[in-house]
Amino acid sequence: MGGHFSCMLSKDKRPSRKNSWRAPKPIKGSSSTKPSKLEEELLQLYQQHMRLERSSSLRYPTQSSKQGLSRSASARSRQSTDPLVQPLQLLNKQEAALKAETKLIVLVHGGGFGAWCWYKLLASFEEAGFSAHAIDLAGSGIDSSDPNCVSSLELYVKPLLEYMEKIAEAEKVMLVGHDFGGACISYVMERFPQKIAKSVFVSATMVANGQSAFDVFSPEVITADDLLQKSQVFVYGNGNTHAPTSVEFKREVLKELLFNQSPAKDVALASLSIRPMPFAPILEKIVLTLENYGSVPRYYIETTEDRALTTAVQQNMIKQNPPHQVFRLKGSDHSPFFSKPQGLFKLLVEITQIKSKTV
């Protein structure tokens, strides 16, 4: 469906918005010319994630489609006996990577986010001896594409496809997708199954064959009170008589929706960095086959305090498309890389150490 949208934005015509919002004003400093301690910390934090992006992110923007799978090749759905993930003893960082089935980790952000959101995980993986890379998808992070002009899922994930094409056949990766990044890594699993050791869905849209990311929000698990429904603002880049070209969140509810358990400094960073998300890719139905997508072991990490992808939505996806194993990150909001970075890191390292033959 995404391919039917056209990008006809003129330089002097701004996209119209329904229930549009105004970006928050910059944080005011004191009357002195010296920046406040909070401003200095935020500046250092922003500069840190920009350095990580330049060294670890890839960017670009094309088109396609595929076909097959009636059901996933999963082993089982989550059981009530599956443990809640508690902070474990500190990892022996020198041994963590040595026990891993793969040391190459590729982190894929969710809708509106960018490679910047993974800065804590990138540092942790590097210190533990892994090679971790965060990708800016088209129209996200510091990628220069206009989100209103990203008209297909393949165009949206092109930076990730470019990265995967460069990986040698013998060097398999572990894909980690957050939020809409789950649909994105599913698309890539279908294209490059031989290059993927395993995939991890972190509070992510884990679609089944023939589904779009939009389809996971089925009527039986969505209520009128869901915060996500009330927080979205559609952007009409081609005018109000055409379909929306992107979607964004109302700034005044960002913390409540996405970062309700996250530190204030990370919320401030996200408020400065988050961008509108291309709308067409969300509606595009994905064809997944047993031979390709189904051959890659899948793991799901539930976030128990999530107000964007609620527990009901996550568990419904797991029921419809069971992964090999489900983990729960207790106390995490929709952004565990901010609210529970150590817990998420330990879980991901644990998953790297699961041998494929035992799955």
Q: Tell me the catalytic residues.
A: 179, 306, 334
What is the spatial order of strands in the sheet that 16-17 belongs to? 16-17, 232-236, 246-249, 277-278
Contact present, 265 and 165 (Cβ < 8 Å) = no
The CA distance from 185 to 175, in Å, is: 7
| Tokens, residue 328 | 């729960």
Helical segments of the chain, H only? 37-56, 93-96, 119-127, 153-156, 158-166, 181-191, 227-231, 254-258, 264-273, 280-283, 311-320, 336-339, 341-352
Say which residues have a Cβ less than 8 Å from residue 286's Cβ, sequence separation at least 6.
66, 153, 183, 186, 187, 190, 207, 209, 210, 211, 212
> Is the C-alpha dihedral spanning 128, 172, 117, 294 positive or negative?
negative
Three-state DSSP at 250 gives coil
The answer for residues whose C-beta is within 8 angstroms of residue 257's C-beta and 6 or more apart is 227, 228, 231, 249, 307, 308, 334
8 Å CB contact between 314 and 236: no
**Beta carbons of 239 and 262 less than 8 angstroms apart:** no
Nearest to 257 by CA among 316, 333, 331, 178: 333
Pairwise CA distance, residues 213 & 226, whole Å:
17
Instruction: Name the nearest CA neighbour of 155 among 280, 306, 261, 331.
Output: 280
